[in-house]
Amino acid sequence: MRTTVTLDADVEHIIRRRMQEKGVSFKRALNGAIRDGAQDRPTRRHETPTFDMGVPTVDVTKALRLSGELEDESLLGRLRRGA
């Protein structure tokens, strides 16, 4: 199939580099890049390591309330200063 495509400068650079590396025409380099990009690749599963931190040394059951109080104090301070 023949078609007209407008490539961004960086994409053209990628295709031209591929032409040089593989010693192929613009058409073959473009078709190869499209095929490579369109292939279904298995997604890599990302796992975040977990660590046993032991028994908490600080009671965090009221952490959200404390955080809210600190934020309120900060806002009141800014309001008083006119910031």
Mean pLDDT of the chain: 91
pLDDT of residue 83: 65
C-alpha 57/C-alpha 55 separation (Å) is 6
Report percent pLDDT > 70 for the chain. 99
Residue 35 confidence (pLDDT) above 70: yes
Least confident of 22-26, 56-60, 64-68: 56-60
Residue 50 confidence (pLDDT) above 90: yes
Give one word for 23, left, alpha or beta, with left for phi > 0 and alpha for psi -120 to 50. Answer: left
Q: Which two tokens stand for residue 80?
A: 């008083």
Contact 11, 29 (CB under 8 A): no
Q: Record the pTM.
A: 0.48
